[in-house]
Amino acid sequence: MTKVLYVEDNDDNVYMLKMRLELLDDFEVVTAEDGEKGCAMALAERPDIILMDLEMPLVDGWEATRRLKNDPQTRDIPIIALSAHALAGSRERALAAGCDEFDTKPVEFERLVATVRRLLADRK
């Protein structure tokens, strides 16, 4: 079972993606509603992969990613940045912050699952 940490402040997005991933039967999804809680959850839950919304209150996804990648206990967890802002430079900025991959919202589910599976396969 693959444990996914989904850091997202929009309840509708959390509900939809968590439900769809768990319907696949090989994902367990834990969630956090902001970057600070996301960092704490990453330490506590040791997820296999993190889906990180970039635009959140308090601690945003950029800062949370930097914190996770600077911590020896969490730096090896792959992070996929999710952003509704597909502006030029967003992908590069996300990768520069430490994200392993970047995807746009609304999420294209099949593509996201393929990206998750590829990043997990690369780790093995």
Output the domain CATH number for residue 53.
Answer: 3.40.50.2300
Domain assignment of residue 118, yes or no: no
Confidence band (pLDDT; 50, 70, 90) for 85?
confident
Residue 113: predicted pLDDT: 97
Domain count, the chain: 1
| For residues 3-19, average pLDDT | 96
If you average pLDDT over every residue of the chain, what do you get?
94
Domain assignment of residue 44, yes or no: yes
Indicate whether 38 pLDDT > 90.
Answer: yes
Domain assignment of residue 65, yes or no: yes
For every residue of the chain, which 3-state class applies, written as one string?
CEEEEEECCCHHHHHHHHHHHHHCCCEEEEEECCHHHHHHHHHHHCCCEEEEECCCCCCCHHHHHHHHHHCCCCCCCCEEEEECCCCCCHHHHHHHHCCCEEEECCCCHHHHHHHHHHHHHHHC
| For residues 71-78, average pLDDT | 98
| Tens digits of residue pLDDT in 96-108 | 999 999 999 889 9
Using an 8 Å Cβ cutoff, are 29 and 23 in contact?
no
Confidence band (pLDDT; 50, 70, 90) for 57?
confident
Domain assignment of residue 88, yes or no: yes
Q: Which range of residues forms the domain containing residue 70? A: 2-92
Measure the CA angle with vertex 118, ends 43 and 113; round to 5°: 80
Domain assignment of residue 116, yes or no: no
Domain assignment of residue 115, yes or no: no
Indicate whether 112 pLDDT > 90.
Answer: yes
Domain assignment of residue 119, yes or no: no
